Amino acid sequence: MKQLILMRHGKSSWDYDVSDKDRPLKQRGISDAHLVSKTFKLHAPEIDHIYSSPANRAMHTSMIFVRNLGFDLEKYSVNDSLYDFSGHSVEQFVRQWDNDLHTVAIFGHNYAFTSLANTWGDQYIENVPTAGLVHITFGVDDWSKISAGTTTQMIFPKHLK
């Protein structure tokens, strides 16, 4: 069985004249990332690896998650394929993972994450919100063969407030 945790970055700020990759989180984004990660921790599976988009807002969200889970940074990587908004690069990246990885969390962006959550999961999601988490399980042992999975968990900040 393979498990994929999709986590969209927290709410970002448009208050600074910086490139898209350099946009920081707003305070709400930081708070929501803490809220979702602490809730996820209550029933979290053991995660084999965490990957993040190189965008500041995604890396900051992932670091909050890593810290709250007490996750080993040796199993953390940043990957350019996750700086994707369509989902095509993310999908190709996931499909080439080593099959020794069973449970993986990725931090990235919309529209990619909503699209993949709806492609791979069995529950329609209108929009994965900022700091939203979707956990999908697949009944296969090969990442290249994942298709229709089961959405086992959705944690959205608005449901926790």
Tens digit of each residue's pLDDT (9 = 90 or more) over 2-57: 999 999 999 999 999 999 999 999 999 999 999 999 999 999 999 999 999 999 99
**Contact criterion met (CB below 8 Å) for 68 and 37:** yes
Q: What is the pLDDT of residue 161?
A: 84
Write the CA distances from 160 to 36, 65, 132, 141, integer angstroms: 8, 16, 11, 33
The answer to whether residue 94 scores a pLDDT higher than 90 is: yes
| CA 150/CA 156 separation, integer angstroms | 17
